[in-house]
Structure 1
Amino acid sequence: MKIKIYFKSFLIFIFAIPTLNSCVRNNDFQTPPLICNNRFDASTTTMAAFVATAPANATITIPATGTPVIFDAYVISSDENGNFYKTISIQDRPENPTVGLQMEVDRASNYADFPVGSHIRIKANGLVLGTDHGTIKIGSVDPVYAIGRIPASLFSRYISGVCNGSNMEIVPIVPTVVSSLSVAKNTKYLNTLVVVNNLKFAPTDLGKTYLDYVSGEGTDTDRNILDAFSNKSIIRNSAFFIGGKKSIPAGSGSIIFVVSRYNFTWQNIIRSLEDVKITN
């Protein structure tokens, strides 16, 4: 008798399982939509005014406490294709910027959180600002380097998206049209997005690829470019650039790039091959 009762109970339980599962499926907890919250208060200064305080050949540390130092900026770089390794280039306006800045960060895949055009807000308290190897940078206090990389674990303490409704605001970035490579070698364009027309790669680089390879491994590589006035400059690509095996194009056209400098060497950095608009 007891066996029959137990067996009957077992059958009831087995047949009840689909019903229970059905109930769970019909009442799944829905993931709430992401809500953008401005982490920092409104800007207390402009990016231009902030950058203007950077010493020419030294650094300063923004006091961690006291008056908040907060400014807005727009992301113009992307590490999605391997360039801009552990750096983010920003400028003060999406169009006709007056100043640019390089942020040192100890994290990769920054494009996933802050794609090109992201309107961001930076709270600089506790960070280091200054000129390092010819470029104005902002980063972390570091025992070895003048301006260190902001640790990934502290990144959100200093940078946040600016909301447009429930989402972070992302706007088109319009490259500044610069008439020549010579004109682009001006500190006012450092870490800003520009475009120069009527460019071509130097004849000595035709037939090569964007990267040089040693034992199958890419290396940091410079490729020479010329403008219509025979001015010269370089496109510099990281060893991690995923377009490295593509051939250098012949012909002429425009190139969009972020203006950079290492000590006295001006170098221009593309975000992807889409920035190179050269046709035969």
Structure 2
Amino acid sequence: MKKLKNIKLLSFLFFLGMIATSCVHDDDFSVPEIIVEEPNVNVNTSIASVKAMYDGFNPVKIEAGDGSTNEMYLEAYVISSDESGNIYKQLFVQDSPENPTAGVSISTNATDLYAKLEPGRKIYLRVDGLYIGEYAGLPTIGVQQGDEIGRIGVEDFEERILRSTVSEELVPRVMSISEASNPARLSTLVKFEDVQFPNGLAGVEAYGNLDNNFGVNRPIEDCNGSVIMMRTSGYSDFKNMTLPSGNGSVTAILSIFNSDIQLFLRNTDDVQMNGERCGGGDGPGDALALPFSQDFEGQASGTGSAVSIEGWTNVNVNGGTRVWEVREFDGNKYAQTSAFSSNENPYETWLVTPGLILPEGTSPKLSFGTKDGFNNGNALTIKISTDFTGDVTAATWSPLNATISTGNTSGYGDSFVPSGDIDLSAYAGQVVYVAYHYVGASNGTTTTYQIDNVSVVE
């Protein structure tokens, strides 16, 4: 009898096992989503309202305007993911899954956020007691650390973030590179179409630095020559992948570092560049790989013979006809300009190199030679830009420390004065433009300058 009972028990257990097994589809081993109740909170502030509290200086404590200690919650949608390692200890959120009016960065010591706070997930964030400030120009919610914004502790962060049951499909805002400077779009999900990586980088360089874990900037250009930087962490799992060689779209989080607008990828699925490349439109032309040199020997020379080399920009910003010209002396050609008899006050002209690709992990050096003639004042400066797109007045230019010929007040020197090796390693991993900027006046400084043997090498 006892043996019969055991047989019946085993049969019953086997039957239960068969039922349980039949409920699982073949090859489906996923864990079902845990159903939780929607948090019951009073949403009484917004991302835009919190950002408006910041005064532009030190971090400002987030608190109710009436001085009460009431809890303050905002509603937002997660747009970032730290799964690839390109974003770290940072959560980007915006106020709507489509056409957001505001976004913000949240600084935290928490990691592996993607496991619970995946893109599209609606959240509620308790912000009272936290601070709103900036990190390198990017509006950020965090804690106060002196005069700076710091990371929210893990426990505090987990208590303040409430995960909604709602998850929406994110629709990135399609925009042009020229529109990316709008501060209202910072920390939102955006998409650029008909873009590509420049020649010399596309299909050649990797997303990141292969030799170390430093972050790098990679330029992305549109077909009008406008450029925006994409930031890749040295710890991202795609840093060794080669940049695509085609044209297409990129979806990313719009950010800023000091004055430099930049993009953060979540993963390479957000880069779809399989189309036919464009030629750069009316911009300054395709970027060139190093080594780079120009001695002007292939140019026609003489009065009125403007420097006209593919990829170079030679412009008088005041609309005058005189620009940098190719001149020749004793069988040697060079670029020359002067305000003398220009009838322009001021006389301002720029001679800008093509875009030059400075490989990451290198220490590129710029060098050239100069002569001055009939010197009655300094009129030449050497500058560099990473955002030049064809309009010298719209780009950001930084001065370079170069040795420039001087002191020849009644004629010209016997030989070109070497500029010295100008270190460009601070710009490694970027496309740069070098400018020879002359500002004089027909009734003032009229010094003549000659430039030759421009070179940039690794």
Do the structures match in fold with TM over 0.5? yes
Which residue number in structure 2 is paired with residue 230 of structure 1? 225
1:119 aligns with 2:156: no
Alignment of 1:69-108 (within 5 A): 69-108=72-111
C-alpha separation in 2, matches of 1:142 and 1:87: 16
Asked if the contact 2:50/2:132 (under 8 Å) is kept, the reply is no
The separation in 2 between residues aligned to 1:262 and 1:35, in whole angstroms, is: 40
Choose the corresponding residue for 1:193, options 189, 192, 204. 189
1:68 Cα deviation from its structure 2 partner: 1.8
User: What is the CA deviation profile of residues 88-127 of structure 1, one whole-angstrom value per residue up to 9, with x for unaligned ones?
Assistant: 0000110000111000010211000100001000110121
Contact 1:90 1:102 in 2 (8 A): yes
* Superposed displacement of residue 197, structure 1: 0.7
Give the Cα–Cα distance (whole angstroms) in 2 for the partners of residues 242 and 40 of structure 1. 38
The range that moved more, 72-81 or 127-136, is 127-136
Rg larger in 1 or in 2? 2
Deviation of 1:247 after TM superposition, in Å, equals 0.8
Amino acid at match of 1:232: V
Structure 2 counterpart of 1:210, one-letter code: Y
Partner of 1:249: 244
1:270 aligns with 2:273: no
- CA distance in 1 between partners of 2:33 and 2:84 (Å): 29
TM norm structure 2:
0.51
For 2:37 and 2:44, locate their aligned partners in 1 and report how far apart those are by CA, in whole Å: 18
Q: Which residue of 1 aligns with 2:48?
A: 48
* SS class of match (1:203): coil
**Does the Cα contact within 8 Å between 1:62 and 1:129 map onto a contact in 2?**
yes
2:289 aligns to what? none
Quick one: which amino acid aligns to residue 229 of structure 1? N
TM-score (norm 1): 0.82
SS in 2 for 1:191: coil
CA gap 1:257/1:33 in 2 versus in 1, 3 angstroms: closer
Task: Give the 4+ runs in structure 1 shifted more than 6 A.
Answer: none
SS state at 1:50 partner: helix
Give the residue type in structure 2 aligned to 1:231: S
Residue pair 2:180, 2:261 contacting (<8 A) in 1 also: no
C-alpha distance in 2 between matches for 1:47 and 1:33: 29
Distance 2:230 2:206 in 1: 12
Could you tell me how far apart the structure 2 residues matched to 1:258 and 1:148 are? 21
* CA separation of 1:33 and 1:118: change in aligned 2, threshold 3 A: closer
Aligned partner (choices 166, 171, 174) of residue 169 of structure 1 = 166
In the TM superposition, residue 246 of structure 1 has moved relative to its aligned partner by: 1.1
Tell me the secondary structure at the aligned position of residue 200 of structure 2: helix
- 1:82/1:242 contact within 8 Å kept: yes
Q: Distance in 1 between matches of 2:42 and 2:245?
A: 48
1:40, distance to aligned residue in structure 2 (A):
5.4
Aligned partners of 1:257 and 1:271 also within 8 Å: yes
Higher share in helix: 1
- Is residue 181–residue 231 contact of structure 1 (8 Å, CA) maintained in 2? yes
Distance 2:35 2:220 in 1: 45
Could you tell me whether the CA contact under 8 Å between 2:97 and 2:168 is conserved in 1? yes
Q: What's the offset of the Cα at 1:204?
A: 3.0
Deviation at 1:57, TM superposition (A): 2.5
Question: How big is the shift at 1:239?
Answer: 1.1
Structure 2: 5+ residue runs without aligned partners?
18-31, 276-458
56-65 or 148-157: which moved more?
56-65
Q: Secondary structure at the match of 1:188?
A: helix
**Alignment partner of 1:147: what SS?**
strand
- Tell me how far apart the structure 1 counterparts of residues 138 and 121 of structure 2 sit (CA, whole Å): 22
Q: Which SS does the other structure have where 1:169 is aligned?
A: strand
